[in-house]
Amino acid sequence: MKAFAALFTALDQTTRTSVKTAALAEYFSTAPEDDRVWTIALLSGRRPRRAITTTKLREWAAEHAGIPLWLFEACYPVVGDLSETIALVLPEPKTRIEKSLSGWIATLRGLDNAEDDVRKAAILEAWDGLPPIERFVFNKLITGGWRMGVSQKLMTRALAKATGIEEAELTHRLMGDWSPDKVSWDSLIEAPDPTADLSRPYPFYLAYQVDGEPHELGDVSDWLAERKWDGIRGQLILRGGERHLWSRGEELMTDRFPEFAQLVDFLPPGTVMDGEVLAYDREAEAPLSFNRLQPRIGRKTVPKKLLAEAPCILMAYDLLEWQGADLRQTPLVDRRAILQDALGALPPELPIRLSPRVEAETWDDLAKARAISREIGAEGLMLKRLSAPYLAGRKKGDWWKWKVDPLTIDAVMIYAQAGSGRRATLYTDFTFAVWDDNDLVPFTKAYSGLTDAEFREITAWVRKNTTDRFGPVRAVTPHHVFEIAFEGIQASPRHKSGVALRFPRMARWRKDKPLNEANTLEDLNAMLAQYG
């Protein structure tokens, strides 16, 4: 635990990639193997289930520190992080407990089914046996609130430095449905893997947003243009007579889309396709809104009624493996030709389509095609170089997304909450409202889009203009108008406003706009009618 806490501190105290890589590589070279595996799991989102609620932790910490709960609650928003607040208010440790990272995780998992008094005794014993930084990390293990500033790519680079194994091979090994309970360091990282897990996907290739004029990319004939549909990026794997569907976030989604099972009977084993899972109207041959797809995303099993209400297809746009052969280094033009032949021979009632090419002789033609994207339920265009291989991760040069401009609305900030990590002392998470006659109705939250200087400025204002407090949230005097940008809008009975936004963020701080000129709920509903 001491080594892991030192690693956590080293990563938290720098923004330099080279320093983070070196710290991780050193840790992966020297830490116990079980701890290394758990560190990889924690950094890649495989966290142990939370056994204790944050409410209990706050109560126990306040009691153990000998302070009233209200005082603890007052400290929490100032510090901005629950784990750190607990570590700071607790008395000095009474003893020293030496236990590894994996040992502490085992202790916490052993409390899953324990009574509250047993859980409390175990947590207090740990707090009394750990110095502050290790307490802080221990609290993070309980709450699962990891923000260590380490991407999957950076972690893989550090593993490659520590082990001498190629990054691409490690990236492939770390994908798929593995758990630190079921693998060892040797089986996950070191051991030869000639027969890779049949369900394991390939690393996804990610695109950059076009950052200039598209014609700067060269001759339009060198590029494949496709619609960028609003669905779920997925990789469909057909191997060994079974099918597996993975999201871009490495989540196994197979059971949520049972309609894809029939593809096993029509496509050869050793087929891996990259595409977009869409709710789809097969009679109109057109994608449905993301709102229709959303109810299926969180379901482990899908009832017949939902299958009928939101039928789905895979809009396939790339072929990564064919008859067991890895095609990723094959140029896109050839991969697509094989995919087109394979899908062209399938019965039309199957839940799969080839992503159509947007034909164009000039960049102006593509600009016109892009301009109608929102009208047909698309987000814009994808531009892919026809000669390009299929790479791993986000690489500039061959894949670009040319999205339409976002929708925007001017809204009033009414609530503020402190951030976490390096922004724990700043107010960065805001709730926004629009006018409904003379009332302000909250409709969305946003926490990105401002510069650090702007966050510091609004933080100073929030502290001087707080009208009420609700735990870590502060109500503020309605005064500031912000332009909120978003990708889509849909009806939502869960929200007081009746709408929910997709990917909201702060585009501009409208210091030039008075409060009474912010948009209205009627404006939001008009957008909903047009784009929802």
Question: Catalytic site residues?
Answer: 228
CA dihedral over 58, 60, 63, 64, signed as positive or negative: negative
Contacts (Cβ under 8 Å, ≥6 apart) of 67: 89
Backbone angles phi, psi at 244, to 5 degrees: -140, 135
For residue 355, CA distances in Å to 30, 352, 365, 388 come to: 48, 9, 19, 18
Do residues 199 and 239 make contact, with C-beta atoms less than 8 angstroms apart? Answer: yes
Do residues 524 and 433 make contact, with C-beta atoms less than 8 angstroms apart? Answer: no
Return the residue matching tokens 């193997």: 33
Alpha helices in 110-150 (DSSP H): 116-128, 132-143
Q: Which of 275, 270, 357, 264 is nearest to 313 (CA)?
A: 275
Contacts (Cβ under 8 Å, ≥6 apart) of 364: none
Return the residue matching tokens 């990026």: 233
Contacts (Cβ under 8 Å, ≥6 apart) of 173: 188, 189, 193
State the amino acid at position 310 in one-letter form.
A
CA gap 147, 12 in Å, rounded: 9
CA gap 102, 277 in Å, rounded: 37
